[in-house]
Amino acid sequence: MQNISDDVLREYEHLKDELNQHNHRYYVLDEPSVPDSEYDRQMRQLQDLEQQYPALRSDDSPTQRVGGQALDAFTQVRHTVPMLSLENAFSDSELQDFDRRIKERLNYSALINPTDIEFACEPKLDGVAVSLLYKNGQLVRGATRGDGSVGEDITANVRTIKSIPLKLRGESIPALLEVRGEIYLPRPGFDALNAKAMQGGEKTFVNPRNAAAGSLRQLDSKITASRPLEMCAYSVGQFEAEVIPTSHTQMLDTLGGWGFKINQHVQAVTGIAACADYYQAMAERRDKLTYDIDGIVYKVNDLALQQRLGFVAKAPRWAIARKFPAQEEMTQLLEVEFQVGRTGAITPVARLEPVFVGGVTVSNATLHNGDEIKRLGICIGDTVIIRRAGDVIPQIAKVILEKRPTNAEAIVFPERCPVCLSSVKRTEGEAVARCTGGLFCGAQIKQAIKHFASRKAMDIDGLGDRLVELMVDAGSIYSVADLYDLTVQQLAGLERMAEKSANNLTAAIHASKETTLAKFLYSLGIREVGEATAQTLANNFGTLEAVIGADAEHLLEVDDIGPIVAKHIVDFFNNPDNLAIIDALRDAGVRWADIDQKAQASQPLKGQTWVLTGGMEIMSRAEAKDRLQALGAKVAGSVSAKTSQVVAGPGAGSKLAKAQSLDIPVLDEAGFIGFLETLN
C-alpha cells in the first residue's frame, strides 16, 4: 500500500468536503457558492490526487458520480419495509371522506375532540420512486420501488445524481437510514435531452417521467450521469436513531439537514378544507414549476397518529393522493392544415377529435415542421397521444401504430403556399420551410401588422388581431404604413366598429408615431431580432441610417449578434420593398430621438447586469427597464453570480432570496429611484 502523508490526507479530505459542499449548495439549495471555474479547479486537484494515490479514492468522493463499468443486468432487492402505493381522491368530497374515515378510526368527534387534524401537504412529483439505504451515514444501496416488495438494485445509477448525498452531512447521523424519494427530470433538462436526440436522429422520450425511468434503468451508469436528474426526499422506511422526529414535516426538515433536497412547497395545514385550498393554490402554480407534478399528497402530520391509523392492504390509512387532470390523453388525428406565419414559416397544425386533457378540451396541436412529421411517422387517421402541460401549446407526443387504420393517409407537405400559392422553400440548415411570397402573401401581411401594433412594438391600443384580418381582407390596408392613412370613416364602416371605437383607434395610431429607435427596429419584424437585440442595435449604432448601412462585418462586432442574425438584418435592409415601407412610415410622421453615441460611450452602467423582481408602485417595470438600458445596463430575467444589482419591489420571492444568498446588492424601489437621481 502507498505511503500517504498526513498532509496529503488532510488536503484530500478538505477538497472532498469542499466539493461535496459546493454540490449540495448548487444542486440541493440552488445557491451556488463558487464560480464554475473554481469548482473545476478543485475537481481537477481531487482527480490528480486520486490518480497519484489510488488508495485514497472512496465511495463518497465527488469523482465517483461520473459512472462506472456497465452492468450485465440488475439484481433484485427486497424492501425490508414495503414501499406502499397510495389511495387516490378525485374530488373535494372524496377528500372529505378520507378525513371522516381518519377521525372515525381515531374515535374523534365534535363532542370529544373538536380539533381538526394537521396534514402535511406536498406536490406529487411525476417521476420514479426510489429507496436509498445509508449505513453510518454512507450510501450503500439504491433501489427502485418495483412491486413494493421487490425492486431492482440501481446503486451505480443513483450515485451519479448530484442531489443525492453520497455521505450524510450534519450531526446525529443515524446508524441505519432508508430514505424514500422521487427521482425526476426537470422540464429544461427533458427539452434539452429530446433536442439532442432529434439532432442525432434518435428516438425521443414521450414525457419527463418516461425519460427519468429510462435513465435509471441504464446498465451503463455513464449514460445516467449524462442526464440532469434530481431527487426530492419525501419519507423514510428503516430508521434507527437516538432521537426520532414527532411529525412528518419535522422528519423532512431533519432529512434536509442531512443533505437531501426537500420540495420547497411542502406545507403543514390544519383541517381538510385547508387541504383543498392547498390543492387549488398548487393547481394554479403548477404550470410555472420547472418540473412535472401530477397531484398533491396529503399525510397525517403526527407520526404517532400515523402509527395508530396503520395500513390497509397495500396502502396507508393516513395518506392519500389527489390527482390533477391528466396531461396526456389519446385521440384521433382528423386532418392537417398548413398555416403561414409572419416570416413565411409554414407550420402544420393537427386537427384532432376533441379530447379533454390538462384541464381543457383540445382540438388542435402543432406538428412544428416537416421533420417532426417524418420523425413521428404520423398519418391522417392515426390514434395519437396528446400532451399538454399548462399554457404550453398541445403537442403530439406519440403515434399508436397498433391502432393505425387501413385507410390512413400520408401527410404531404405543400410545395406552394396555401394562402398566396408562391413557392415554398427550405433553407439549408433550417428545419422550417417558408413561403417566398413575402408581403405579397396575405397571411404574412396580417402577421406583420399584428406584430407591428403589439404592445412591445408600436403599442397601438385597440388594434386587435380580428380587426387586422378584417382590414386586410377588405383591402383597407396592404402594409404597416397604410395604418397611418386610415380615417375614422373607413374604420367605422367595418364590422363591430362604432364611431367612438374608430375615433379611439385613430388617436392610438397617431400617438404611436412618437416612439424609440429600439421599438421601431423591433416593430419591423426582422427575423431573430427581438426586444433585446433591437435595443442593442439602437445603443450601438444610434441612428436608423447607421443600422441600415451596417454590413455583416460591422454587425458581428456588436455583442450578442452572431452570423445568422447579422445575415437576417443585412437581407432585410437590402430589400427595396422594406426600405420603401420604412420611408412611408417616416413620411407619415413616425419619429424617434437618435441616440447620442458619445453619451452612449460613457454610460455609467455599461457592462452591468440588473434584475427587476416583485411589484413596482411608483414607476412601471417597463419604465425601469428602459431607464436601466438607457444607462447601458443589461436587464436579465434571472439572478446568477454575474448579476450586478437586484431591484426588489413588494412581493419579491425566489429571485430576492437567491440574490441574498449570493450577497448581490439589493435596492428597494425608493432606493432605486434615488440611485437614478444621482446619475442625472
Q: DSSP string of 608-647?
A: -EEEEES--SSS-HHHHHHHHHHTT-EEESS--TT--EEE
CA distance 490 to 443: 22
Residue 233 has pLDDT above 90, yes or no: yes
Residue 432 has pLDDT above 80, yes or no: yes
Strands (E) across 472-568 are located at: none
CATH H superfamily, domain 517-597: 5' to 3' exonuclease, C-terminal subdomain (1.10.150.20)
Give the tens place of pLDDT for each residue, 350-373: 999 998 886 678 899 989 888 888
pLDDT score for 149: 85
CB of 419 closer than 8 Å to CB of 339: no
Q: Which of 126-140, 194-208, 301-315, 567-581 has the lowest mean pLDDT?
A: 194-208
DSSP calls for 5-43:
-HHHHHHHHHHHHHHHHHHIIIIIS----S-HHHHHHHH
Domain 87-91+113-323 falls in which CATH fold?
D-amino Acid Aminotransferase; Chain A, domain 1 (3.30.470)
Mean pLDDT, the chain, as a whole number? 85
Q: Among all chains, which residue has been given the C-alpha cell 398566396?
A: 420
Fold observed for domain 6-66? Helix Hairpins (1.10.287)
Residue 120 and residue 266: Cα distance in Å, rounded?
7
Query: Averaged over 316-344, what is the pLDDT?
Result: 88
For residue 484, the model assigns a pLDDT of 94
Identity of the residue numbered 620? S
CATH topology assigned to domain 438-511? DNA polymerase; domain 1 (1.10.150)
Is 185:216 a contact under the CB 8 Å cutoff? no
Report the amino acid identity of residue 320. Answer: I
Residue 56: pLDDT above 50?
yes
Of 23-27, 265-269, 292-296, give the range with the top mean pLDDT: 265-269
Provide the pLDDT for residue 599.
52
pLDDT of 71: 57
Instruction: Dump the DSSP string for 268-334.
Output: EEESHHHHHHHHHHHHHHGGGSSS-EEEEEEEESBHHHHHHH-EETTEETTEEEEEPPPSEEEEEEE
User: Per-domain residue ranges for the chain?
Assistant: 6-66, 87-91+113-323, 328-410, 438-511, 517-597, 603-679
Burial of 132 per CB tally in 10 Å (0-12, 13-18, 19+): buried
Whether pLDDT at 195 is above 90: no
What digits encode the pLDDT tens for the residues 604-639? 887 788 888 887 778 877 788 878 877 878 888 778
Average pLDDT (86-107) is 87
Q: Is the pTM of this model over 0.75?
A: no
Q: At what angle do helices 36-52 and 6-23 cross, to 10 degrees?
A: 140
Q: How many CA atoms lie within 13 A of 367 on its CB side?
A: 32
pLDDT at residue 134 is higher than 80: yes
| Lowest-confidence pick of 488-497, 517-526, 562-571 | 488-497
Contacts of 648 (CB under 8 A, 6+ apart): 613, 614, 655, 656, 659, 666, 667, 668
Residue 669 has pLDDT above 90, yes or no: no
Band of residue 318 on the pLDDT scale cut at 50, 70, 90:
very high
Active site members? 124
What is the per-residue pLDDT for 570?
92
Classify domain 603-679 by CATH number. 3.40.50.10190
* pLDDT band of 485, cuts 50, 70, 90: very high
Which of 19-23, 52-56, 344-348, 457-461 is predicted with the least confidence, judged by mean pLDDT?
19-23
Residue 680's pLDDT is 66
pLDDT in the model for residue 67? 52
CA distance 308 to 318: 9
Look at residues 236, 251, 232, 214 and name the one whose alpha carbon lies nearest to residue 290: 232
Instruction: Kindly report the backbone phi and psi dihedral angles of residue 204, in degrees, each rounded to the nearest multiple of 5, phi listed first.
Output: -95, 165
The confidence score (pLDDT) of residue 114 equals 57
The better pLDDT of the pair 632, 447 is held by 447
| Architecture of the 328-410 domain | Beta Barrel (2.40)
- How far apart, in whole angstroms, are the C-alpha atoms of residue 497 and residue 488? 10
For residue 1, pLDDT beyond 50: no
What pLDDT sits at residue 131?
A: 94
Greater model confidence, 112 or 563? 563
pLDDT over threshold 80, residue 125: yes
Topology agreement, domain 438-511 and domain 517-597: yes
pLDDT for 256 beyond 70: yes
Average pLDDT over residues 531-539: 86
> So what's the pLDDT on residue 628?
85
